[in-house]
A and B are shown apart, each in its own frame.
Chain A
Amino acid sequence: MASLTHETIDLQSLYDMVATPTAGAIVTFSGVTRELTQGRQTESLDYEAYAEMALAKLTELEQIAKERWPIEKCAVVHRLGHLEIGEASVVVAASSAHREAAFLAAKWLIDTLKEEAPIWKRENWSDGSTEWVHPGLPTGDAP
């Protein structure tokens, strides 16, 4: 099940969501806000989404993952709003009878959502400047 939340992500609830009696493996991945990006110091981050489309896209990716690998269940939750350093911005969970499928599906889910989900983060740098992160774009935020 895919969701977007403004609250702290509860890792255990994602784990419980994918646990089944026949699953012998549960993989969870947490994407966590990082203090340093190429030597620059981040104070905090803000995430925003085109919520309706992001939710539809995450749900679609879960469906594709289930078709592509023999997983029992999978779940994705993405945080929105203001995050301090060390908080989880995204958690992906997948369960399968044997570990290979859960690892592969979880990795594909996080890799693909980073490329396709209409979600953006804004770096609030420690020097007081802010910058939306748009990979590939020349930034307008000259140091």
Chain B
Amino acid sequence: MRVCVKLFAAVRDIAGDEKVELEVSSDADISAVRAALIGKWPQLEPYAQFLNFAVNQTYATAATRVAADDEIACIPPVSGG
């Protein structure tokens, strides 16, 4: 299936787009989404272990399953405040 992932900050700048589409298996979880993202943009490899994800605006874990219509976002380490 095809999922849409929102990108922010340095990750967005590296990928060059604020919203990217990734092809993952129909039973994919967040770790698969992360792998697909890194696969498409190998420059993100140094960031891989630091990237959190949110599904439908809630922080997810590596094992969180995703569906094609989920709102998925890649959350690099935050620096607000």
A residues touching B (Cβ–Cβ < 8 Å)? Answer: 31, 47-50, 52-54, 56, 78, 89-90, 110, 113-122, 132-138, 140
Contacts and interface: CB of A to CB of B under 8 A. Distances in A.
Q: Which 8 A-B pairs have the closest CB atoms?
A: A119-B80, A114-B81, A133-B79, A132-B10, A120-B9, A53-B57, A134-B77, A132-B9
| Residue of A53, A78, A113, A114 with highest tally of chain B CB at under 10 A | A53
B28 to A, nearest CB: 21
Contacts, number: 82
A27 to B, nearest CB: 16
B13 interface: yes
B57 A135 contact: no
A137 B47 contact: yes
Given A113-B80, A118-B78, A50 B50 contact: no
B76 A120 contact: yes
A45 B47 CA distance: 22
Nearest to A45: B79
A110 B64 CA distance: 28
